[in-house]
Every structure is written in structure tokens, then in C-alpha cells.
Structure 1
């Protein structure tokens, strides 16, 4: 399953970063309209994430994932047919719905094909393989994409669609019995059962809601800024070229792939919330370095500083990976696992919508340095919120378990 996931990540790495460029510079759509079309990908997630979670609980996460992969493939193929603005909106919506269906089903399925104590490890490894896939896809796209050739982009999106389709037989043939919908017992059909209450039961889980709010906040001040605020600030106030941003992202990807397993070994037996708080601290350092590098006058000093900032950010990513999705799945009962993952994915969608808007407002007002210093402060606030979450979590949920032990080894002070 991790192999199929990495394969589809290669396709996504080849195409998603270039969608705006493809629509505006290759298909000749006004850049403002093209930007709105690209935003449709995220907007589709607001509806698609809860539907994907519900579908996983109703028909099983494997079947829901297959549906999402098929929709994603159709979306990728449809992008190649774009000629007019309405085509761009329609194709982007299909892409967004497909991704919104895939993510919660994928997380729910991954959580069920391993033992609970293995979840931190498998989600951490998935983070490394995804980054490797995105990196390979980005490098491949750099060699294939040609702004003077629409056909080169058609090749990229066709290959992207095929990577989704190739994942389908892996699920059908190799995992035929995985991710089945949980059969409801008589107790489960009682009026107060989670199975009957659906999303209402998830929304009454106050611990999960704390995790949700924290994750939406982290995505807004962290991941979303790497995709929006950072490149805009680096090429604007920072005075560096786009190639420096590319090098910085490549260094980030390499660092995640290289460090994820060693960091996981260090984290095993320790608090999940400690790892999350440390991740926030590393991100705060990364944004301070970014703010300083952006005012160094450009040149090699700025390039080194900006690249170092994303490497430091990568360390935070590796600390976060064993904790976030695995904690959500440890909180989730089996018959609501899809819905928990659907809402958890919605936290990401929310952050990825709010974060770029925040960055655009600050950078447009000429407050680039202030933006990143403010983000650093926000990361420290998030670290304190994480410590607060740790005081509320039961001990067995706040430990990164060892895959070798039946019971988690608690090394907490």
C-alpha cells in the first residue's frame, strides 16, 4: 500500500505544482481566472472530505479509496482537455473531489492494515515515501515540462492519471479483505450508538476537536506557508530567483526522507505531544531564519539562509509525522474511522485555504518580515497548546508505541 501511495505521489508531484502555470501560460487562460480555478481544487475538499469519510464507513475504506482513485484519474485526464475557463473550473473541481475522497479513505485503510501500536511507524514511513514520491515527480516534471509545448503537459497529466489507476489493482488483488465496512451489531444500532449518530458522535469527542483545531492551526502557520508565503517572500523581499526556491524545496524533501526514520527511532516510547511541541519549536526557528534571510539583501547569503530554513522546517515535519494521523486513528472507533479521518483531512483543507490568504494579505501590505516573525510567535503558541493537549490525553494515547512491543513503552517523566 505504501508503494502504491508513493506511486500516486510521483504523479501528483509532476502536476499539482504546475497547474496554475499550465492553465495560464500554456492554455492562455487569464492568470487571475486560472488562480480561481486552482483554488477550486481546495474548495472541493470542503464537501469532498466529509463525503469521503462517510463513504469509507458505509462501503469500507478500500472501496472508498478505489472510488477516489478513479475520480482522481478522471480529473487528471480531464485537465488535458482544458481549452476554455469553464473547462479549467470543471477539471479542477474533479481533481479536488478525487483528492478529497482519497485522503480520508487512505488514512483509514492504512490505520486498519496494521496493528494499533504500528500506526506511528507506518504514518511516519508514509511521510517519507510521499516526500520521496513528490521529489521524484518534481524532478521528472522539470525534464518533461516545456512551456512552448502543450503536449509536454498533456504527457504529465496522462502519466499522473495512470499512477492513480495503477494503484487500483494493488488494492483489489493484494488487499482484497482489508478496509471492510464495520458490521453493526445489535448494540451498535441502538439510538445512542456512534454508528447511528454519525458525524454528531465525532463532533462530541472533545479530545478530537482539540486535535482538529490544533492541526488546522498548524497547517495554517506551517505547511500552507511553505507553499504560499515562503516562495512569494523569497522571490520578493528576499531577492532570490525561483531556482533558489526550487533548491530549498529539494533540500526540504531530501531532509525529510533522510531524517524521518532516525527521528522515529528517537521518538519511540516518548510523548506524541512532546514531538508535536518540538515540531512547533523547530518551525518557529525556521520562520525566524526566513525573516532574517529575507532582509539580507539577496545573493548567496539569502539563498543559504532560505534553504537552511526549509531544512529546519523539515526536522519539524519528521517530529510531527508519527503523531498526528496515528493519534486521530487511535481516538476513532472502528465504525466511525472514516468520518474521523474525513474531518481530520478537513483540518488540512481549512489550513491550506486560510494560510495563503493570510500570507497574501501580509505580503500585499508590505509586511513580509512581520509575517514570518508573527508566524514564529504563532508556532510557539501552538507548542503551548500542544502541551495543554498532552495533559488531557490518556497516557496510552500520548505515547509513540514501539512496533516490537505488544504494549507501548512509556518513557515519559
Structure 2
């Protein structure tokens, strides 16, 4: 298994662009207040627009890789980034009615950018180093968000939220220009089609041949609904128990700091461990974190919850993404990444309404049910680690080969160009 030295230069260059784009791409945090203050929308109208935007994000994640497999991941990334950036730049000039079209399109394009980033990492890094490659991408994104969120608030306070959105648009266009210059122009997906087109199967047949991947995708779908309670019902719950919003902000900052410090070292240290065992353990830690809230809401319990959630996130997100990439056939790498990207943001749409409804109807059930769902997802992934996958011989599991490495997919890319 490799180390960070085996992550190719193109990935580091892309990661720098992701960092820069994440610094400016903080508008989703301020969308609701922008719509209700500077655009004068009512709370229901702003909620509807935000919800439609969430659908756009998820749809973009689900389909970005499909376009990449057909037209090239580099080309898809550039087109989506230009579309998102141009839409955000002109957003302040548009009438209210046009927002119902342009905002979802911007969100869709941003979701497609996310899926394309993942697909580019998947086709650019050797099988044994994909965890490190995805860890580099996640650290870059988290670092950019850590800088961008308070910077956006500062810009909004001194100027306006309109400036924040225009800056996001300009930054996204600059990211597209940067990516066009640093990413190789040849498309791995196009080359793969030329070599293997006659043997290609439908995506569903490929998934049915990989039951462990299916189990992982379903588990991540439910786990993300649980995980994203952190951004919906958790602050409400803490506030209802007298914990100031500033404490919640510090908890998020603590989580971001731990991720920035530990995600890359963890990816390197655990690179020889079976991926599904790591993912399952991470999901269980998420469940245990929410289980702590069953005992009350104190600063100590909230801090312990956040640390468990952060440890779980570090353990499950990067290895899960890399595992899907390792199991994907060459001609469907983008579509496999899109499936994972889509289920991994499912909570954006489902977590607030489901968690909010349960919290309103039976608040005592929310945290035990959340904990049970995440633990069940983790146990399912652990069980999936014993399933056979294509290319494995008897005695090898979906989690690990005899030498400790993830199983190599027959025909999977070793070092394709990032196109």
C-alpha cells in the first residue's frame, strides 16, 4: 500500500483548486438569510427555494459522474463549474421568479462538480493509494470551508450577502479556469470506452455483481440522514436545553480542527486495514455519539458527542469513497462515484424534515432512534465485508485480500489520466 508520496501531482493540484473553491463556496450557509433579508422573500418562500436547491445538489451528485463517463470527467467538471459560477454572478440581477430556475441550476451544477472531483481522484490514483487521494481532497475541502465560513460572515457584515454570492460565482469561474490549466486534457472515460465498449454492462448489473457495494450505498444513505441531524435538530436540541449558539459554533470548529489534524494521518495509518471494517466502525461511532444525547444536554456530553461524530466521520467517509472507486469497473467509475456522492448527501434533503418531525412529535425518541439506525448501518457494512466481489478467489472477502490490501478489480484503472 502506498503513502502520500503515491498521490500524483495532478491530485494535489486539484486539491489546491478545491481548497480555493471551498473558501468562496460558502453561500449555502447564508442562502436563507439572503433570500429573506436582501431579496425580501417570506420565510415559506425562502424555505421552498432552499428545499428545491437541496434537490438540485443531490441530483447533481447523482448524475455528474454519469456525464463524466460519457463525455469525460474533466470536461464535465469544467462545464458544471462555469454554469454554477455564471449563475451565481448574475443572481443579484435576476427577478424573484427567475430564482426558482437559476438557484436550482446552480445547486445542480455544484453537485455535479463534487461528483466530478471524486471521479477525477478515482481515475487518477492507483488502487492502493485511493484512500490517501480522497483524504487529500476531503482535507482540502474542509480547510477551505473552515476559512470560508467566517470570511463570508465578515464580508456580509461589512458589505452585503449579495457580495458573498458574487464572490462565490467569480471564485467558481476562476476554479474552472485553474482546473482547465492544471488537469490533463485526455479523458480516461473516453479511452476506457474505446477499449472496452463491447463488454460494458448496465450500471445495475454491475452493482448486482457487487453486493457489498450495494449494502454500503444503502447503509450510507440511512447513515447520512442520521449524521446530518448535526446541522438541523442538534442545534435546536441544545438551544432548548440552554446551550448557547456560540457553544454550537465552537463544537463545529472543534470538529473541523480535529478533521484537519487527523484525517490524513488516519488515512495513511489505516491504509492496510480492510476498508469496510473501518467504515462500519466509523458508522457505529456516529451512532454512539448521538446515543450520548439520550442522557441529556450538557456541554460535556455535547463535546463528547461531537468528538465521536468526528472520529466516525474520519473513519467512514474517505474509506467508503475509496472502496467504491476500487470496486468500480473502469467504464463506470464516474457513475459509481455519483451513486456514492448522491447517497452521501441524501441527508441534505431528508434529515431536516424527518428529524424535525420526530423531534416535534416524540423528542425522547430522536436520539435513541438515530443511534440505532447508525449502528445498524455500521453492522450491515461490517457484515458486507465478508461478501465476495468480482475478481476475488475463495477465502478472500470484500474487505481485504490476504496481503491486507483492498481487492483489485479486474480491469480497474491503475493510473488513468485525470480527464
Same fold (TM over 0.5): yes
Match of 2:208 in 1: 204
Matched, 1:230 2:239: no
Match of 2:176 in 1: 168
Matched, 1:363 2:359: yes
- Give the TM-score of the pair, scaled to structure 1: 0.86
Asked whether the 8 Å contact 1:272–1:322 carries over to 2, the reply is no
Matched, 1:140 2:144: no
Matched, 1:251 2:247: no
Kindly tell me: are residues 20 and 378 of structure 1, through their superposed partners in 2, closer, same or farther at Cα, counting changes over 3 Å? same
Match of 1:298 in 2: none
Match of 2:369 in 1: 374
Match of 1:305 in 2: 301
Structure 2 Cα separation of the partners of residues 373 and 24 of structure 1: 35
Deviation at 1:162, TM superposition (A): 2.2
Matched, 1:10 2:15: no
Structure 1 Cα separation of the partners of residues 226 and 400 of structure 2: 25
Q: What CA deviation, in whole Å up to 9, does each residue of 1:370-413 have, x standing for no partner? A: 20121112222112101111111554852499xxxxx8558xxx
Match of 1:262 in 2: 265
> Can you give the 5+ residue segments of structure 2 that lack an aligned partner in the other structure?
1-13, 390-395, 407-419
Matched, 1:291 2:287: no
Kindly tell me: are residues 370 and 255 of structure 1, through their superposed partners in 2, closer, same or farther at Cα, counting changes over 3 Å? same
Alignment of 1:339-350 (within 5 A): 339-350=335-346
Q: What CA deviation, in whole Å up to 9, does each residue of 1:186-226 have, x standing for no partner? A: 87343xx32xx54344453433322211111111111x211
Kindly tell me: are residues 119 and 185 of structure 1, through their superposed partners in 2, closer, same or farther at Cα, counting changes over 3 Å? closer
- Give the TM-score of the pair, scaled to structure 2: 0.85
Match of 1:387 in 2: 382
Kindly tell me: are residues 113 and 396 of structure 1, through their superposed partners in 2, closer, same or farther at Cα, counting changes over 3 Å? farther
Q: What CA deviation, in whole Å up to 9, does each residue of 1:160-198 have, x standing for no partner? A: 1122122223322222335433336787343xx32xx54
Deviation at 1:123, TM superposition (A): 0.8
Secondary structure of 2:188's aligned partner: coil
> Can you give the 5+ residue segments of structure 1 that lack an aligned partner in the other structure?
295-301, 402-406
2:117 to 95, 101, 106: 106
Deviation at 1:114, TM superposition (A): 1.6
Asked whether the 8 Å contact 1:202–1:340 carries over to 2, the reply is no
Matched, 1:61 2:65: no
Structure 2 Cα separation of the partners of residues 163 and 396 of structure 1: 44
Q: What CA deviation, in whole Å up to 9, does each residue of 1:231-275 have, x standing for no partner? A: 22222x332232222111111111111121232233121111221
Secondary structure of 2:254's aligned partner: helix
Structure 2 Cα separation of the partners of residues 229 and 272 of structure 1: 30
Structure 1 Cα separation of the partners of residues 241 and 24 of structure 2: 31
Kindly tell me: are residues 400 and 391 of structure 1, through their superposed partners in 2, closer, same or farther at Cα, counting changes over 3 Å? closer
Match of 1:299 in 2: none
Structure 1 Cα separation of the partners of residues 107 and 78 of structure 2: 15
Secondary structure of 1:398's aligned partner: coil
Deviation at 1:279, TM superposition (A): 0.9
Deviation at 1:39, TM superposition (A): 1.0
Kindly tell me: are residues 229 and 399 of structure 1, through their superposed partners in 2, closer, same or farther at Cα, counting changes over 3 Å? farther
- Aligned CA-pair RMSD: 2.5
